[in-house]
Structure 1
């Protein structure tokens, strides 16, 4: 017998084989037999007594014996006295009126005598007085028994037929439990599955108040242990609390009678189902109990041995069905936690910025605790004082000694995530239990992240089921994701510092060139992108010439920014050497192929503006074609001589294009983030949208000042201020042309 269950034999009934002999004798006799104590409380009754008295009383055992007989006054509040009964208690016979199962008064012959045993106990034997009435009663009882047996048999067949080949535990339990409940005419049925540490509640019929049922029963600490050890169904009856227990207030323990052995057991009230009478049925497979089914009645109910045997037979059938369904359930449960982990990981990865990361981590951890039906308890570790400060749900901040609860190695844990079980018998659980806090679950320790120790507890209330392997794995993966997001944020912060340094050394500035008015604009798709791969430049050259550059290096962040800076520097040098645009790009291609360790390439537009000759000589290397808006917005020309990208292939060829310009014309350069911008519905802004925007904003009544700002405002309105890519734009207006300088010889 488990140490959590105290036991004793029913007082006044006897011990050892005598109790079993008496119990069997009560079932064999054709008379109604009732045993009651000195307080008038019915202790035992056989089936005949239940048949004679039960239905009118809504519960025989545990009731007041005086309620069985027609008395002159209401004695509910009158102290019991055996001498006040309407029959003698000295063993002599008497004829009295009784409320029988039919609800009417009948004459009953009774004999009652005191039992010589510890305590005050009486044994009463009763039968209907008239032979005809007795025969009628016997016939009704026999018919009722046949009907009940037929209903039990039909119900068992329905359970078999309705649960064939079920692979889903929920569907299997949903069908089987309701069938069992209806067949046994019970008030409810509970189903528990064996798992880590004990039996876990996994099913209940609609009529059961599941909130009153224990969700978890530890191995060796509850009544399920009796059924597991005996190997068969056990009939259990909860005894009414004694007056002294009621006066003490809350009942922490209750007494129950095991009707198989007639032992009185003391058990924790929180481990009892919400029933007064119930049958605990073990489900066996391969020599172990894989589940427990509890069939119960809210009020006192006769628990018949043949009902227990029928439930054993049903459980034997369900065991085969249940094993397959359990495997499917565990796989489905693991998949559900994998899916949740993926969703939470995506939420974490969407964070940007230190404050956003902190908030998203808190939100994700709270969502995870909710999914586990547990409380999230953040921890703060103070290694200098060797304490952990826990933000508890009920008590608030409390200091918990490190060495007593979390282990001495916590202070030494530097990096990586780990999940440690907090079992019901651990020192930490005991500390929390004494505070009345949730105390069963896991400690999740992620070491030092962003300069702080990150740890938290996921806890369920005392007596609830511990976290299983699937839940432990889910928490560990989530903790590792949190570590990754913090490390990623640290890397982004470092990249930010590098990018800011690069930005200071590589500003997108347009030099002043006499005869030209130029504007440049760069807009990042993300607030965190200080420097990307888009760049532009306008370089003043001798003899009324200038070099205009627009480029887009693949990738983001420091790598793209560093390549962009190198490209701008190289192109500036090539321009001063007097190279043609195609020669400049060809030299740059050779340079890039040996520059980056990554597969980085770039698209480029390089143009040499000759104000004296009123021409632009250009090379467009995989870049969106530049547009030339003629003065007065009368026409838009495309600079359509195209070559391949830069930095991808060694043997690629590049060629120059030449276009004439006039005063008032505007050269428009842009990166593909402009034309590939999308509206909320997914439609592209496109080249036509760009053309229409240029014509509208280049109208004679529109000033050139603020030209690019108006273009960007149009893009923001189109996308809802949600750019998918960085946008860079340069607009160059030709103000003064002519006055040919000496002819320049390009290399």
Structure 2
């Protein structure tokens, strides 16, 4: 067989020994005639075991099939073929095969011998390994380029951003795409824990913890480590209550239990803290839904992005908190407007406050009431379920120790309200409720919402609209004490007043809990300040209501003792009316009196003192008394006005003034003199009757002077008129002519004059009532001012005197 090396192709035999390729020379039928050392090394065999065997038993197709019909498994035209070479141990390796048909030279005398096949083989395993290595390097280079470009893109997107939500959306989506993650989330450090502020689009529809309290979850762990960490999340081998999973720190090799509600939707996570100096702004979590080992380079990328992101976040977070503070301020102003605009409708006002609180704070409002059946205070949850407190209110909410973190805690530099003066509460009390407090821990242990604020409105301030529709046991309102609460309902302060006690004392509630569940963040400092100011406003409103009620009682006392009345004067028939614009029918500044003097004389006074309530009622009583005294001294109407002006100008309250009409009537002569000091003109109705055949007409007394009590040197003028039997003098305050209809039109003097012209023909009885009825029809029974009206009919006149 080896004759080929010395006789047929001696030069070829020497050549194949020095080549680096494996070479085989065989017959056209496949019988191996010669191999070089490289081939023997490739197959790990001995020469004697290879020479003479069929090459078809060594080279197979890539599907390990043997060539049939004595055909060679490769072409002999020099083309490249990929085959599987069987080694001496029975294993296979891929090889590249090329072959040519060789014929012995004619000049050697061996031309009669058959041609030979030269087969050259090259091991493809090394080539494949090189290709794989090159592809891996290329892939790593591409990944590095992608990380670099992605990192630069994320960093550039943070520069100069003014919209926090747009910034977070861009960063989180680019970050997930850059590192081929399944999703990214960011949590901001808030009061009490980490609040979810953004998530990549790929996590739409996934469960994400909305709030993770401090001391729980990945955020707290990363904050304590102060650097990015790689985690693997897996079910707990021994679940304990809510801790059904664990997160494993891949680098530190530490496992930590995690609650199911705090578990992210990933199996592998890189979590990195976002620091600004020493302050933690938040946590970024990059996750995969499969178990994998993140590269260290990916951790570095996330840390770099966090460093750059913190610079932009600190400004935007401050802006976000400013916006939140502005929202809370607007809400507080809206509730203040509701309190003042609906002061006469307390239930509707409180309903608006409750709705606004729920909208702004996303919390439950649970009244705390005394249950006479259980003989204890209970928390009345929505839906009617009640939970009895384990102890008295003071022991439950006000006896626990305050955590050290809340003692003299520095104001948040990012909070717009930092440094603002806190309002002082007189009776109400507020206290936080969370896991660090006695009551918060008790609520949590019973599976109830355990974080929020307890508010005791104290004596007087009651928000019954915060209570759901429920029946309160008899005696409950007697247990509604103010200030400190004891466990004994019999110790209640019976003198406690309230915004609602007049209407519905049995449904009043003065203590309640604002609660959030564990998936929400606790009430933060801005929200607590918001509640504090709201309660302070409620106290002020309640104090105003109490003062108003006290003024009402004083005014009603004045009304009973100094009610405007017309004295009985022979020769004069009178009709009068006083109508208050308020439902309480208080005494205001309007007053009138008819004083009988000797010699068939009388003084008629009708006036209106500026101001409202007790002050106006007191001043009108003083003015009325002073004018009565001056009238008995025999002074003229102008003299009465001057004397009263001097008296009022001697008061320190220079803003007190009055308008009035004063008439001194001589019934024997049928004449009268008057002084109209800033008052609407009095009308004289000339009425026809038997023995007096005239056309009915209304005369206006037009002589006018300035108001009383405004200026020290005011000049007052005297007017006069005559009257006949049956004439009617009609006096009124400005509330009658300034009444408006729905279109804003005034009733006016002309309408009143026309009305008096027709009504006076019916006589004096009920005249003032008929005028008021017409005013009600004109205004739709909506009068904005008090109205006083007096009508005097003269039963004798000038003709009788003559």
TM-score, normalized by the shorter chain, greater than 0.5 = yes
Which residue does 1:195 correspond to in 2? Answer: 190
1:438-517 equivalences under 5 Å are 438-449=449-460, 452-453=481-482, 454-462=510-518, 464-517=520-573
1:536 aligned to 2:592? yes
The answer as to whether partners of 2:594 and 2:605 remain within 8 angstroms in 1 is yes
Range moving further from structure 2, 333-342 or 728-737 = 728-737
Which residue does 1:367 correspond to in 2? Answer: 356
Q: CA deviation at 1:597?
A: 5.9
| Cα distance in 2 for residues equivalent to 1:392 and 1:712 | 51
Unaligned segments of structure 1, at least 5 residues: 1-91, 96-128, 743-747
Q: Which of 666, 675, 680 pairs up with 1:619? A: 675
The answer as to whether partners of 1:357 and 1:485 remain within 8 angstroms in 2 is no
The answer as to whether partners of 1:389 and 1:400 remain within 8 angstroms in 2 is no
1:399 aligned to 2:389? yes
Going from structure 1 to structure 2, the CA distance change for 1:449 and 1:635 (only over 3 Å counts) comes to same
1:250-269 equivalences under 5 Å are 252-269=243-260
1:89-488 equivalences under 5 Å are 149-167=144-162, 169-181=164-176, 183-184=178-179, 186=181, 188-205=183-200, 208=203, 212-240=207-235, 252-297=243-288, 303-352=294-343, 356-357=345-346, 360-361=349-350, 363-365=352-354, 367-380=356-369, 388-393=377-382, 395-402=385-392, 404-407=395-398, 415-449=426-460, 452-453=481-482, 454-462=510-518, 464-488=520-544
| Cα distance in 2 for residues equivalent to 1:583 and 1:418 | 59
Range moving further from structure 2, 190-199 or 536-545 = 536-545
Q: Greater Rg, structure 1 or structure 2?
A: 2
Q: Any idea what the Cα deviations from partners look like across 1:561-613, whole Å, max 9, x if unmatched?
A: 11112222222333333321111112222333446768422221112234444
Q: Any idea what the Cα deviations from partners look like across 1:265-315, whole Å, max 9, x if unmatched?
A: 321112223444433221111123221122345566764443332222221
| Cα distance in 1 for residues equivalent to 2:143 and 2:790 | 92
Q: Any idea what the Cα deviations from partners look like across 1:486-540, whole Å, max 9, x if unmatched?
A: 2222222222222221111122333454554443232222213521112223334
Going from structure 1 to structure 2, the CA distance change for 1:677 and 1:273 (only over 3 Å counts) comes to farther
The answer as to whether partners of 1:415 and 1:448 remain within 8 angstroms in 2 is no
Structure with greater contact order relative to length (CA < 8 Å, sep ≥ 6): 1
Q: CA RMSD in A?
A: 3.9
1:640 aligned to 2:702? yes
Going from structure 1 to structure 2, the CA distance change for 1:737 and 1:448 (only over 3 Å counts) comes to same
The answer as to whether partners of 1:168 and 1:328 remain within 8 angstroms in 2 is no
Q: Which of 697, 713, 738 pairs up with 1:676? A: 738
The answer as to whether partners of 2:425 and 2:536 remain within 8 angstroms in 1 is no
The answer as to whether partners of 1:416 and 1:480 remain within 8 angstroms in 2 is no
The answer as to whether partners of 1:193 and 1:291 remain within 8 angstroms in 2 is yes
Q: Any idea what the Cα deviations from partners look like across 1:187-244, whole Å, max 9, x if unmatched?
A: 54432222333323333455546894333333343211332244333333322566x8
The answer as to whether partners of 1:414 and 1:447 remain within 8 angstroms in 2 is no
The answer as to whether partners of 2:747 and 2:778 remain within 8 angstroms in 1 is no
Q: CA deviation at 1:661?
A: 4.2
Q: Any idea what the Cα deviations from partners look like across 1:329-366, whole Å, max 9, x if unmatched?
A: 2233223222222222232234546xx44664465255
Which residue does 2:721 correspond to in 1? Answer: 659
| Cα distance in 2 for residues equivalent to 1:438 and 1:579 | 78
Going from structure 1 to structure 2, the CA distance change for 1:352 and 1:273 (only over 3 Å counts) comes to same
| Cα distance in 1 for residues equivalent to 2:661 and 2:722 | 17
The answer as to whether partners of 1:415 and 1:446 remain within 8 angstroms in 2 is no
Q: Secondary structure at the match of 1:339?
A: helix
Going from structure 1 to structure 2, the CA distance change for 1:237 and 1:528 (only over 3 Å counts) comes to farther
Going from structure 1 to structure 2, the CA distance change for 1:536 and 1:202 (only over 3 Å counts) comes to farther
Going from structure 1 to structure 2, the CA distance change for 1:735 and 1:179 (only over 3 Å counts) comes to farther
Q: Secondary structure at the match of 2:578?
A: strand
The answer as to whether partners of 2:428 and 2:459 remain within 8 angstroms in 1 is no
| Cα distance in 2 for residues equivalent to 1:93 and 1:261 | 46
